[in-house]
Amino acid sequence: MFTSLSDRLTATFKNLRGKGRLSESDVNKTVRDIRMALIDADVALPVVKEFTSAVRERATGAEVSGALNPAQQVIKIVNEELVTILGGNTRTIQFAKRPPTVIMLAGLQGSGKTTFAGKLGAWLKQQGHTPLLVAADLQRPNAVTQLEVTGERAGVPVFAPERGNMGGHDAVLDSGEGTRSFGDPVSVSRAGIAHAQSQLHDVVIVDTAGRLAVDAELMQQAADIRSAVNPDEVLFVIDAMIGQAAVETARAFAEGVDFTGVVLSKLDGDARGGAALSVAGTTGRPIMFASTGEQTKDIEVFHPDRMASRILDMGDVLTLIEQAERAFEAGEAEEMQRKFLAAEDFTFDDFLQQMSALKRMGSLKSMLKMMPGMGQMSAQLDNLDEREFDRVEAMVRSMTPFERTHPKQINGSRRSRIAKGSGVTVSEVNQLLERFGEAQKMMKQLARGGGMPGMPGVPGMGGGRKKQVKQPKKKGKSGNPAKRAQQEREAAERAAGRGPAGPAGAAFGGGAADGPAGPPADLDPSQLPKGFEKFLGGS
């Protein structure tokens, strides 16, 4: 969603790096580039002006001029101001002191309200709640049926006493018969809350009707439902791809329904993302959730600080960790930790478990984009074919249980059978086994504390490569015949114990013939200082 904006801002900051001091012209050029990047991303003009003026004021002050690294200080200022216009602090659902908590969804038709209702129900169920979906959208054709299908996928019950518009006619008018009603959404909402109280549901999610454009009838219906059910939260679901139109739509709903929070849907699209940076700044209402796909698990709590880090290509490791904690079961993680510490072989069965957990986490592309600095590889990530992992899984599942735990025993005939069973070539099976063998070696090296290939061992983990003691270099023979003869004589004398260095341990180079404590034969004790003879052991 924010690829274009992220690339523009990254290029802007790249020009600042390496400068020990920022002049006023540097600051002006940076602010101008940021302004153009935000306008190009469809951010509302009032938000752009407010943002750039705040950045300029802080960048020209003592905060940057006194910094050791002015460029990093400017990036820090931009990051903090991005967090501010995105809402500041993370805002979560405020549950009622006395259940059930009533959550009303509002927005335009096609913004993704019904899909988000199922996602929110599944998310609340994971948090330990017992949600109920209420089908109060009785005007859009087959809206009730869609909510029932979504609720079934999410594992959340749906209250739908009215079938609504099933014939595909206009929402209110039917030609030849005058005004036609498909049910009263206000009474359905009231009955849904009563049903939730009787069935002990602690959260009620009311899915209301939408229109193709903002009109008085829609606003009045939504206002009537709000007055009837008195919801604890009113969430305005807005399509993150509609650009500048998001601002006036959000203002109209704020005046007509007075929502308490915003939900950004279709955040996985390829639009420029200006709606996300405009809605919170223009309405003063926080963004609470982000919808990032079609499946019920594709929902994220909106963290302004993490989203700002994504825009500035700093990654979002915290969200990645949270997704991993939800996807990896505790038993599997403990077993993998035990095998890792025990230096047991990593098998293809372990590989299948890891791949299954990765699939539960979501799209591999979206996970990689949460890593710091991956924005610079956006083109490579877009070209990543995730179907390759399906082919790898097919090859592994074509193996027998013995082959999965003993990959070294997979000979030529077995490889041919695996290739035929998975619909790939033998060379692809060979490549898989080769890469898997390298992965096994790396896992063992990590368990021994040897670190990653090309990296030093981990301190305190033991193991690692032992430091080799450098052997002294032997002195080569000289090419001069006279010098070489002298070297040979000295070597012979050392071997016989008569060389100038003498045998090891002899004081002053004396040989063994001098006795254990006697002075060397060629040494005159009278030439030594007075009293020094006692160190020679002589008389």
Q: How far apart are CA 314 and CA 334, in angstroms?
A: 30
Fold of 101-307: Rossmann fold (3.40.50)
Domain range summary for the chain, segments of one domain joined by +: 3-85, 101-307, 323-374+387-447
Q: Hunting for tokens 């003869």 — which residue is that? A: 485
110 is in an annotated binding site: yes
- Topology at the third CATH level for domain 323-374+387-447: 434 Repressor (Amino-terminal Domain) (1.10.260)
Average pLDDT over residues 449-465: 44
Query: Is the model's pTM score more than 0.75?
Result: no
pLDDT of residue 50: 87
| Residue 457: predicted pLDDT | 37
Residues 6+ apart with CB under 8 A from 85: 47, 50, 51, 277, 280, 281
Q: Is 155 annotated as a binding residue?
A: no
Contact 229, 196 (CB under 8 A): no
Residue 38 pLDDT grade (very low, low, confident, very high; cuts 50, 70, 90):
confident
More confident residue, 218 or 505: 218
* Confidence (pLDDT) at 210: 76
The mean pLDDT value of the chain amounts to 74
- At 138, the pLDDT band (50, 70, 90 cuts) reads confident
- Mean pLDDT on 406-424: 90
Give the per-residue SS3 of 348-408: HHHHHHHHHHHHHHCCHHHHHCCCCCHHHHHHHHHCCCCHHHHHHHHHHHCCCHHHHHCHH
Confidence category of residue 134, pLDDT binned at 50, 70, 90: very high
Which one is predicted more confidently, 460 or 288?
288
Joined together, the tokens standing for residue 457 give 């061992």
**What is the 3-state secondary structure of 237-300?**
EEECCCCCHHHHHHHHHHHHCCCCEEEEECCCCCCCCHHHHHHHHHHCCCEEEEECCCCCCCEE
Rounded to whole angstroms, how far apart are CA atoms 75 and 55? Answer: 10
Lowest-confidence pick of 96-110, 205-219, 327-341, 478-492 = 327-341
Please provide the distance, in angstroms rounded to a whole number, between the alpha carbons at the two ends of the chain.
Answer: 98
Q: How far is CA 60 from CA 31, 55, 333, in A?
A: 11, 9, 50
Find out whether 291 and 366 touch, Cβ atoms under 8 Å. no
Amino acid occupying residue 515: G
Residue 369 labeled ligand binder: no
> pLDDT at residue 132 above 80?
yes
Asked if the model's pLDDT at residue 507 lies above 50, the reply is no
- Can you tell me the mean pLDDT for 187-214? 87
- Say how far apart CA 216 and CA 207 lie, in whole Å: 19
Report the C-alpha gap between 373 and 368 in whole angstroms.
10
pLDDT, position 137: 85
- pLDDT for the residue 492: 77
Tell me whether residue 513 is annotated as binding: no
Q: Does 265 count as an annotated binding residue?
A: yes
Q: Which residue has the higher pLDDT, 265 or 211?
A: 265
* Model confidence at 473: pLDDT above 60: no
pLDDT band at 368 (very low <50, low <70, confident <90, very high): low
pLDDT at 102: 93
Portion of the chain with pLDDT greater than 90, in percent? 13
Q: Judge whether residue 348 has pLDDT over 90.
A: no
Rounded to whole angstroms, the Cα distance separating 20 from 336 reads 48
Report in angstroms the alpha-carbon separations of 222 from 95, 104, 186, 339.
Answer: 21, 9, 9, 57
CB distance 191 to 161 below 8 Å:
yes
Is 266 labeled as ligand-binding?
A: yes
Residues 75, 81, 83, 84, Cα dihedral to 10°: 170
For the chain, the residue count is 539
Please give the residue that has the higher pLDDT: either 182 or 316: 182
Top pLDDT among 11 and 430 is at 430
Higher pLDDT, residue 194 or 351:
194
Q: Ranked by mean pLDDT, which of 156-160, 174-178, 514-518 comes out on top?
A: 156-160
- Residue 159: which pLDDT band, with cuts at 50, 70 and 90? very high
Q: Is 440 helix (H, G, I), strand (E, B) or coil?
A: helix
Dihedral-angle region of residue 509 (phi above 0 means left; psi in -120 to 50 means alpha; beta otherwise): left
Q: Is 112 annotated as a binding residue?
A: yes
Average pLDDT over every residue of 497-511: 45
Top-ranked range on mean pLDDT: pick from 22-31, 209-218, 461-470:
22-31
- Write the DSSP symbol of residue 513: G
Question: How far, in Å, CA of 350 to CA of 276, rounded?
Answer: 40
Other CB atoms closer than 10 Å to residue 104's CB: what's the count? 26
Query: 492 in helix, strand or coil?
Result: helix
Cα Rg, the chain, nearest whole Å: 38
CATH no., domain 3-85: 1.20.120.140
Same fold, 3-85 and 323-374+387-447: no
Helix (H, G, I), strand (E, B) or coil at 463: coil
Q: Is 208 annotated as a binding residue?
A: yes
Mean pLDDT of 135-144: 84
pLDDT band at 485 (very low <50, low <70, confident <90, very high): confident
| 152-161, 248-257, 298-307, 339-348: range with highest mean pLDDT | 152-161
Contact 353, 327 (CB under 8 A): no
- Give the Cα separation of 32 and 174 in Å (integer): 55
Q: Is 108 annotated as a binding residue?
A: yes
Mean pLDDT across 452-460: 41
pLDDT for 296: 85
- Between 282 and 526, the more confident residue is 282
Q: Is the pLDDT of residue 133 over 90?
A: yes
Count Cβ neighbours within 10 Å for each residue of 495-526 and write b for 16 or more, e otherwise: eeeebeebeeeeeeebbeebeeeebbeeeeee
Residue type at position 32: R
- Is 380 flagged in the annotation as binding? no
pLDDT of 129 over the 90 cut: yes
Q: Kindly indicate the confidence band of residue 538, based on its pLDDT and cuts at 50, 70 and 90.
A: very low
SS3 assignment, position 536:
coil
Question: Any known ligand binding at 297?
Answer: no
Q: Which tokens go with 318?
A: 């915290």
Per-residue pLDDT averaged across 194-198, rounded? 92
DSSP structure class, residue 457: P
The better pLDDT of the pair 332, 521 is held by 332
Q: Which structure tokens are listed for 483?
A: 């010098």
Enumerate residues 6+ apart whose C-beta is below 8 A from 146.
114
364 residue type, one letter = L
